[in-house]
Amino acid sequence: MEKLKSEWFDWVKALLIAFGLFFIIRTFFFAPIVVDGPSMMPTLHDGDQMIVNKFIYQIQEPERFDIVVFHASEGKDFIKRVIGLPGEHVAVEDEELYVDGENVEEAFLQERKEKMPSYQPLTGDFQLEELPGGHEEIPENHVLVLGDNRNNSTDSRILGLVSMDQIVGKTSLIYWPLDRIQIIHD
């Protein structure tokens, strides 16, 4: 009887440790997220399941073209691509991205640009000053984000700049569905 009691206690202890580790990892390090909608097509598809790295921005700053998850509103997270970083001025003119007046190639949009009819703009022209907030340059601890499906995305052009406090983390690993398993590169 004593052996059974000891074995039962060991199982309970192992399960509590496992649940505790799961809780810590899920809360502070990694979390799953499901892509909802077409705003990141063709890079991400509606229903793709991904892992969010929640601690990466504790040890490094976001980089241009990182795919991030952020709190867009209470209870609603969005997935978008970082386009502008603190201290930069961003503009799009004739479907070309300009950062501080320099043309920046967006290789991930090339296929989409080739398939778009010439009369339908992918992004539409804008300058940072025209976005909500009217900034002349991106303030410290903020980024400008856009969806890859620019003509069907609620992003910084509508929401304004995203504060680092709103960012949950970076995502680049699709783990489901099986035929879409991949690591997304810029």
Amino acid at 57: Y
* SS3 state of residue 92: strand
Within a 10 A sphere around the Cβ of 40, how many other Cβ atoms?
25
- 108: tokens are 């991930």
Kindly list the catalytic residues.
Answer: 39, 80
CA–CA gap between residue 92 and residue 126 (Å, rounded): 5
Amino acid, single-letter form, for residue 166: Q
> Quick count: other Cβ atoms within 10 Å of Cβ 167?
24
